[in-house]
Amino acid sequence: MGFYDRHILPHLIDCACGMGDVMKARAQIVPRARGRVLEIGIGSGLNLAFYDPSRVTHIFGVDPSAEMQAKARRRAAGIAIPVEMVPLELERIGADSASFDTVVTTFTLCTIPDPVPALVEMRRVLKPDGELLFCEHGLAPEPAVRGWQNRLTPLWKPLAGGCHLNRDIPALIEAGGFRIAELDAHYLPGPRPMTYVYSGVARAA
């Protein structure tokens, strides 16, 4: 990991992912979490303020970046819910099967190198009656926008921490063994190749 990835990218991601409309999108899905929560790609902890302490007993965060984890710990100190980090192994979440009531993933699936095995792991650690709450940007419905997403992704990835602009989020979630129970998809304000967002709830298929 070079200087850019270690010292500059975390600040850029924190800024971009903390913009007003992105935070509004987070605020519409994260408060639905309940019980023991696993947040995949907790990053700098931007979701932490949206968890409801009357519904959530404990938050466990997974993120490969030590720099982002440090930011998350600072934000965790300001909420009334216990927060701790879960070890992340290659293609494996360091947690027991069926041990979480809710798994949360926001603006994370775009950067995971192989998202389907990661989603299979999320299903493994989720209780049978648990829910996957997601809010992710991805493949747009219009062919012209998709064309730009496909052209821009190879250039965008090294600048944005491996982010793919052109992932079919619902298809990936279903390939990971989930059934989508609720889905909303729309553009946020901004450049269309980067702002088509899927948000919803999925349960084990």
- Delimit the domains of the chain by residue range: 3-204
Nearest one of 47, 41, 51, 50 to 10, comparing CA atoms: 41
């389907």: which residue's tokens?
116
* Tens-place pLDDT, residues 44-92: 899 999 999 999 999 999 987 777 788 888 999 999 999 998 766 646 7
Measured CA to CA, the distance from residue 80 to residue 68 in angstroms comes to 20
- pTM of this prediction? 0.93
* Tens-place pLDDT, residues 145-199: 999 999 999 999 998 888 999 999 999 999 999 999 999 999 999 999 999 999 9
* Dihedral sign computed on CA atoms, order 93, 182, 161, 118: positive
Classify strands 196-204 and 126-137 as parallel, antiparallel or unpaired: antiparallel
Is 3.30.479.30 the CATH classification of the domain at 3-204? Answer: no
* Tens-place pLDDT, residues 98-143: 999 999 999 999 999 999 999 999 999 999 999 999 999 999 999 9
Greatest extent of the chain over all pairs of C-alpha atoms, in Å: 46
